[in-house]
């Protein structure tokens, strides 16, 4: 049975080729001083930076630059960005980049007018925003996180060895996001497939929970089938517009709160992956890939009917003459084959994790109880060891 919910997603999406021109429509709705947030330089290489600056100038905006947002953005960088935005009196934030850039822009947006330490308030204490929020718009260049249409913001604190996500309310969602698949063509293959697995993981985190008959589970199965199909094509030919555009839109729907309505989610793969990220700074999607199969095998018995359904409806496993467990395991075996085929990282060792780090990573793992099984700390250690 669907739970009770309010569905509110205020992000306007401008999708498709040349959708960057929609910036001209959007900019007049927002302030005159724009904090232009971007990463380590990919947008300069691709030429996107020049196009964005040209449009900002044509719309009479003053630009305050905030470059160098790293993957897995840090609390130190957040403090630096807040100081820059305050000094420049930014009243609008334009994030041009991947999930890291957009997550960071959201964190800055709720911190400019906040008098407390943002890391402590939003990420350690998980408090709500009680100050003015500077609006954010985004131009997406890396597909995966769904940050373009949600309130998620994940920040890493290296001193404390913690990577924590705060899911803000709809007042922090980007006001608009521009999604042109062509701007994702320049992504290195490693990042591209990491993003593909991130999408898959978002869908699975929501799928592997609950025992009821739920609309979202059917939608998720459809999104997974579309993703698996298109990802295979994109790996062969990264410039296949049909595949890249389908994946871009799937990624947005995979984590724009829609399929989460009325049902719980598991999210332990993300908790494990984030803890690994806090220790290794590894690419988000790859951390998820490395822990997923050991984790799912660990909880398979508790969630058996759903793992069986996953095998049949997503991986086309023929159930005839097999036990439920055999069917479920065959589904995971198909998933493993697919992961290897698209080229994700299959273990934590390849991401720089050492056996000595396991206890610390286990301490940094937030244990949730909304999936099929609440892990003990010892089980977290077991899953991490099995992922090495
Ligand atoms: O920094 P630049 O030079 O732009 O390079 C980036 C970066 O090195 C590069 N890149 C991005 N677009 C490109 C490109 N290179 C060439 N051409 C392009 N078009 O790709 C690298 C990765 O970018 P990044 O933004 O770090 O990746 P992603 O989008 O996967 O974001 C990862 C962050 O998002 C968080 C993760 O934890 C991680 O911190 N997440 C956010 C979520 C949310 N908001 O809901 C949910 C996710 O589960 C995730 O936790
Ligand atoms: Zn993710």
CA dist 142 and 183 (Å) reads 8
Give the residue, out of 284, 285, 286, with the most ligand 1 atoms within 8 A of its beta carbon, to mutate for a pocket test.
284
CA dist 180 and 31 (Å) reads 24
pLDDT single digits (tens) 53-73? 999 999 999 999 999 999 999
The percentage of the chain sitting over the pLDDT mark of 90, rounded to a whole number, equals 98
CA dist 302 and 371 (Å) reads 9
**Which CATH number is 12-183's, of 3.40.50.1970, 3.40.50.720, 2.160.10.10, 3.40.640.10?**
3.40.50.1970
Domain residue extents for the chain: 12-183, 189-387
The highest-level CATH class for domain 189-387 is: mainly alpha
Residues ≥6 apart with Cβ < 8 Å to 161: 278, 279, 360, 364
1: pLDDT confidence band, cut at 50, 70 and 90? confident
2: pLDDT confidence band, cut at 50, 70 and 90? confident
**What is the structure's pLDDT at 3?**
84
Q: How far is CA 8 from CA 83, 150, 288, 307, 368, in A?
A: 31, 10, 28, 30, 25
83: pLDDT confidence band, cut at 50, 70 and 90? very high
Give the residue, out of 11, 38, 42, with the most ligand 1 atoms within 8 A of its beta carbon, to mutate for a pocket test.
42
Nearest atom of ligand 1 to the alpha carbon of 183: 19
Section 218-224 average pLDDT: 98
Q: Kindly state if the Cβ of 270 falls inside 6 Å of ligand 1.
A: yes
CA dist 382 and 184 (Å) reads 37
Section 320-336 average pLDDT: 98
Q: Is the pLDDT reported for residue 224 higher than 90?
A: yes
Q: Kindly state if the Cβ of 265 falls inside 6 Å of ligand 1.
A: no
Torsion over CA: 242, 244, 246, 248 (sign): negative
């Amino acid at each position: 049975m669907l739970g009770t919910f309010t569905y509110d997603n205020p992000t306007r999406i401008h999708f498709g080729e040349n959708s960057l021109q929609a910036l001209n429509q959007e900019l007049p709705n927002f302030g005159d001083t724009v904090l232009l947030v971007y990463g380590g330089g990919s947008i300069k290489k691709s030429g996107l930076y020049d196009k964005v600056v040209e449009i900002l100038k044509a719309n009479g905006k003053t630009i305050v630059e905030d470059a160098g947002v790293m993957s897995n953005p840090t609390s130190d960088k957040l403090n630096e960005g807040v100081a820059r935005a305050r000094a420049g009196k930014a009243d609008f934030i334009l994030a041009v980049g991947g999930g890291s850039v957009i997550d960071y822009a959201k964190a800055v947006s709720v911190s400019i007018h906040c008098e407390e330490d943002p890391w402590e308030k939003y990420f350690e204490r998980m408090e709500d925003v009680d100050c003015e929020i500077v609006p954010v718009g985004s131009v997406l260049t890396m597909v995966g996180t769904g940050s373009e249409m949600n309130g998620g913001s994940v920040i890493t604190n290296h001193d404390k060895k913690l990577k924590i996500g705060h899911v803000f309310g709809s007042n922090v969602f980007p006001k608009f996001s521009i999604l042109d698949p062509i701007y994702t063509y320049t992504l290195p293959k490693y990042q591209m497939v990491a993003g593909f697995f991130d999408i898959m993981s978002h869908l699975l985190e929501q799928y592997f929970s609950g025992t009821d008959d739920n609309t979202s589970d059917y939608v998720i199965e459809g999104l997974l089938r579309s993703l698996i199909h298109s990802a295979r094509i994109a790996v062969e030919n990264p410039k296949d517009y049909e595949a890249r555009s389908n994946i871009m839109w799937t990624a947005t729907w995979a984590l724009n709160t829609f399929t989460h309505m009325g049902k719980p989610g598991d999210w332990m793969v993300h908790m494990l992956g984030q803890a690994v990220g806090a220790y290794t700074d590894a690419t988000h999607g790859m951390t998820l890939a490395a822990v997923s199969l050991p984790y799912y095998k660990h909880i398979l018995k508790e969630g058996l009917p759903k793992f069986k359904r996953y095998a049949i409806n997503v991986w086309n496993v023929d159930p005839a003459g097999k036990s439920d467990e055999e069917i479920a395991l065959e589904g995971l075996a198909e998933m493993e084959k697919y992961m290897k085929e698209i080229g994700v990282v299959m273990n934590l060792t390849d991401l720089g994790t050492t056996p000595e780090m396991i206890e610390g990573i286990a301490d940094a793992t937030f244990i949730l109880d909304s999936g099929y099984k609440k892990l003990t700390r010892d089980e977290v250690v077991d899953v991490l060891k099995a992922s090495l």
